[in-house]
Structure 1
């Protein structure tokens, strides 16, 4: 049986373990992939904790992980355009996790990997980078205007900062003081949220207010930057619906469009975009990798290399 890591019940890290599960089989419109690398994301531990069970029901035990890169080894009925041997990446189907040697992807949402893109970098793109790309498409910050990113040091924020700066947008990003150098390497001006005077510093940098805001922190983060939000500021947020409504914000979401993934892959392959993979663990150390992400202070992206033990 293929090696897989997941959880046997909803709860904390104590319910995680390697699972003895049969190899998945691709159904209509799906492809079976031999996983070479899998992305590790905050959504993974939230799924394990049961936070998403209302809209993502799972049969337990379940495999962790939602984004992979690998090689097609089988196709389900109705699949055209992809065949065994093709290198692809994308988000797994519901119920098929990515922390495994084999995973299932929807064929119509699996993107081909261009030459020059590594499996490790490809596995970092579907969720975090895809969310960043589509979030910026919605906000549409114009060249010369300002974008404030709350939580610029994480996987989504790091890609969003680079993409916006690439388009001539002036980017200001909040992050912990320890991530200042990292955030500024992305082309953004860093503001430490764990230091006093954050509001004053933001008003100093953005005296006319922020044109656009990408809130990747949620909670009360928007309250803390209210001083640079104007009637014309466009805001996307991961905050709760009530908070979003209070600030006239729209929810941040991701479609999984393979066109988005292909565009990102080409940028990375061309050396124009850094997916910011900063830690790579073998599948055998999946618990350690997820713990690092769950702690909430990781810089950039964490990826599992499924080909190493």
Structure 2
């Protein structure tokens, strides 16, 4: 396992994190006890960073159950405050902060998360949406800082709503947040241009999500793959012709097995190549996936020239929310 300091502190977190969206049913239906066991298994393997959210169905509740079963050292626990008006509001296009996070909502949502997780303190609390226009209002940041002063949360962060990573640059420079979470993978390397170096220079933790592009970069997708109702991927992979997506993934197979044992390992190695990436969130709700993903950290890093080739010639930036909500 590899570790990194969190937000310039002496606190160390694993560079691969347990992305807990899969515990909430959005990536298929699984047995509840198996999901709990998958998290405990990942902790056994050295993962110390868990990322969940109010919007992830039963995820917080299941994380809480897993933490009760876990007998080791307390992991670093991150969650997110959902918009009070879900269902597309604030995704893809900006809305006023008073609509997404009205006064008092941050506290109410945090208190619910604490109960569901069964803990007294959440290490990192993030807004599940953020737009730079919100800097004109300061009440939401004041509410977060009050929660921090009360010991209910320890660090403050935001999760960006889509691929427009540059909207967070002023916030990173403001010194008011400890972490930024956003999309970063082989297809979308844009955070490398500005956001990751900005976070590194300002001692703000950078948390990569969608490292596998919802699993697509693992190479599992075929023309025949079917998704059940309620599975997030049912619409994600088909907002462009599926054949086009598969063809882009197949271009990456030339790097396997010389530089990675699998496409999934290639995706993880790519994201963790830059030292400014604090942790990469990966769905590990199946123990087999957890073992494979964690093992990638013990392999040789990508050579600089391979990383550069991936960066320059395999980017394929798509904003899912362009078609989902507009």
| TM-score greater than 0.5 by the shorter chain | no
The answer to which structure has the higher strand fraction is 1
Per the normalisation by structure 2, the TM-score is 0.27
Question: TM-score with structure 1 length normalisation?
Answer: 0.28
